[in-house]
């Protein structure tokens, strides 16, 4: 298992470098200028040239990237070109919000989706068709629209949950859970449906195999067949889907954080992009990449637990 972890970590290093280079280049090609954003509409040519020189924007792109990379390798992501605040500190202060939202949404999606998939595969009939309908509805429902509907019902009409904001776990466990309910519900609508459908299809395939008939002939209980044997055989593709959905949730997190006014990396990224704040954008993209790398590593570890052959692959 340690060999698997080391191999995946080493493979992630080129990915992080490639993402950082691509982000830097795309930000350079994007319309807008950091110096113009800071100075506003009324500025002189001298003040514009001076500010660009002070920010290092008059240097060649490859030199600026190498300077940033040298600092990043030392753990220094630089300072925001707009606010002058340390990028690393800003990201660290908001990381908990994004991680809480992503992990909670993935966990809820996995638990509810697997439960629905198992029940629909075992019971079949109307419940199986309901999962198909739920999948179609989930795919077609935008997360931000569902979030607005949930806010209007549960926060405005019934007033049982907060509409915006985030309460840290260290401040109040109840407040933390309450602040996550509506954002997580909006994020998990399509994910639950996808996992449920994948689980149902995998369970139906596993339950039709010969080893299940052999287990029943040998007197194995139905619960043992379903949860110990069939679900374990169906789990590999389900885990793959969960891993892909976790990566996809990173995009949804940006929208949901803005919709619910949550002070996470997504809302910070949107502000940094609109202001053409390259150091902040670079740092946030690297942070999101690291979150995805850790998520994929957890998926690989789950593979190793479910299938020992994957530990040496």
With a cut of 70, say whether residue 309 has pLDDT above it: no
| 27, 43, 76 - which closes a domain | 76
Residue 182 confidence (pLDDT): 94
The verdict on residue 62 lying in a domain is: yes
Tally of domains in the chain: 2
pLDDT of residue 311: 55
Position 124 in a domain:
yes
pLDDT bucket at 140, cuts 50 / 70 / 90: confident
Q: Please indicate, yes or no, whether residues 48 and 123 belong to a single structural domain of this protein.
A: no
What's the average model confidence in pLDDT over 237-258?
A: 87
**146 lies in some domain:** yes
Q: Which two tokens stand for residue 241?
A: 């889907």
The answer as to whether 45 is a domain residue is yes
Judgement on whether residues 279 and 220 belong to the same structural domain of the protein: yes
Q: Is position 268 within any domain? A: yes
Q: How confident is the model at residue 303 (pLDDT cuts 50, 70, 90)?
A: confident
Q: Find the mean pLDDT for residues 140-155.
A: 88
**Is the model's pLDDT at 310 over the cut of 70?**
no
> What integer is the mean pLDDT of 20-26?
91
Higher pLDDT pick, 10 / 89: 89
* Average pLDDT score over residue span 35-46: 83
Mean pLDDT in residue range 181-185? 93
Q: CATH number of the domain that 152 lies in?
A: 1.10.3720.10
Question: Residue 2 has what pLDDT?
Answer: 72
Same structural domain, 96 and 49: no
Is the domain of 214 the same as that of 298? yes
Indicate whether 133 and 187 sit together in one domain. Answer: yes
What's the pLDDT band for 281 if we cut at 50, 70, 90? very high
Residue 90's pLDDT is 95
Residues 97 and 72 in one domain: no
Average pLDDT, the chain: 87
Give the whole-angstrom CA distance, residue 288 versus residue 294. Answer: 10
245 SS3 class? helix
Q: Which residues of 76-112 are buried (b: 16+ CB within 10 A; e: fewer)?
A: ebbbbbbeeebbbebbeebbbbbbbbbbbbbebbbeb
pLDDT of residue 105: 92
**Cβ-defined contacts of 8-11 (< 8 Å, 24+):** 8/296, 8/297, 8/300, 9/297
- 152 plus 219 within the same structural domain: yes
Please indicate, yes or no, whether residues 64 and 197 belong to a single structural domain of this protein.
Answer: no
Identify whether residues 143 and 62 lie together within a single domain.
no
pLDDT over 70 at 111, yes or no: yes
**Within a domain: 44:** yes
Residue 28 domain-assigned?
no
Residues 64 and 208 in one domain: no
Domain membership of residue 44 as a residue range: 35-76
Say whether both 150 and 71 belong to one domain. Answer: no
pLDDT at 57 over 90: no
pLDDT of 253 above 70:
yes
Q: Calculate the alpha carbon distances from 236 to 179, 200, 299, 301 in Å.
A: 32, 13, 10, 12
Entry pTM: 0.85
Single out the residue of 311, 195, 280, 193 nearest to residue 244, CA to CA. 195
Last residue of a domain, one of 16, 50, 76: 76
Q: Do 145 and 247 have their domain in common?
A: yes
Cβ-in-10-Å burial (0-12, 13-18, 19+) of 4 comes to: middle
Q: Read off the pLDDT band of 284 (50, 70, 90).
A: very high
In tens, the pLDDT along 187-240 reads: 888 888 889 888 988 998 988 888 888 888 888 888 898 888 888 888 888 888
Say which residue, 129 or 86, is predicted with more confidence: 86
Q: What angle do CA 31, 252, 263 make, to 5 degrees?
A: 80
Is residue 13 included in any domain, yes or no? Answer: no
Out of 15-19, 37-41, 136-140, 269-273, which region has the weakest mean confidence (pLDDT)? 136-140
pLDDT band, residue 91 (cuts 50/70/90)? very high
């Amino acid at each position: 298992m340690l060999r698997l972890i080391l191999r995946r970590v080493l493979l992630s290093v080129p990915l992080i470098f490639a993402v950082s280079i691509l982000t830097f280049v795309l930000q350079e090609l994007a319309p807008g200028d950091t110096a113009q954003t800071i100075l506003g509409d009324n500025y002189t040519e001298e003040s514009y040239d001076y500010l660009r020189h002070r920010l290092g924007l008059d240097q060649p792109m490859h030199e600026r990237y190498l300077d940033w990379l040298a600092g990043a390798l030392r753990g220094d992501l630089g300072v925001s070109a707009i606010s002058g605040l340390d990028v690393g500190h800003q990201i660290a202060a908001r990381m908990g919000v994004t991680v809480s939202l992503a992990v909670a949404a993935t966990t809820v999606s996995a638990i509810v989706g697997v439960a629905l998939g198992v029940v629909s595969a075992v019971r079949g009939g109307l419940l199986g068709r309901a999962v198909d309908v739920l999948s179609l509805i989930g795919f077609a429902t935008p997360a931000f629209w569902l979030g607005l509907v949930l806010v209007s019902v549960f926060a405005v009409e019934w007033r049982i949950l907060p509409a915006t904001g985030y309460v840290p776990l260290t401040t109040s466990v109840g407040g933390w859970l309450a602040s996550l309910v509506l954002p997580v519900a909006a994020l998990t609508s399509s994910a639950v449906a996808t996992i449920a459908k994948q689980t149902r299809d995998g369970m139906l395939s596993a339950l039709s195999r010969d080893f299940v008939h052999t287990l029943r002939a040998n007197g194995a209980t139905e619960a043992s067949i379903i949860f110990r044997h069939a679900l374990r055989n169906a789990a590999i593709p389900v885990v793959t889907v969960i891993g892909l959905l976790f990566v996809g949730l990173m995009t949804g997190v940006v929208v949901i954080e803005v919709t619910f006014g949550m002070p996470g990396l997504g809302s910070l990224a949107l502000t940094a992009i609109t202001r053409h704040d390259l150091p902040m954008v670079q740092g946030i993209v690297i942070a999101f990449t690291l979150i995805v790398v850790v998520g994929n590593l957890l998926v690989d570890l789950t593979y190793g637990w479910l299938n020992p052959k994957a530990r040496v692959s």
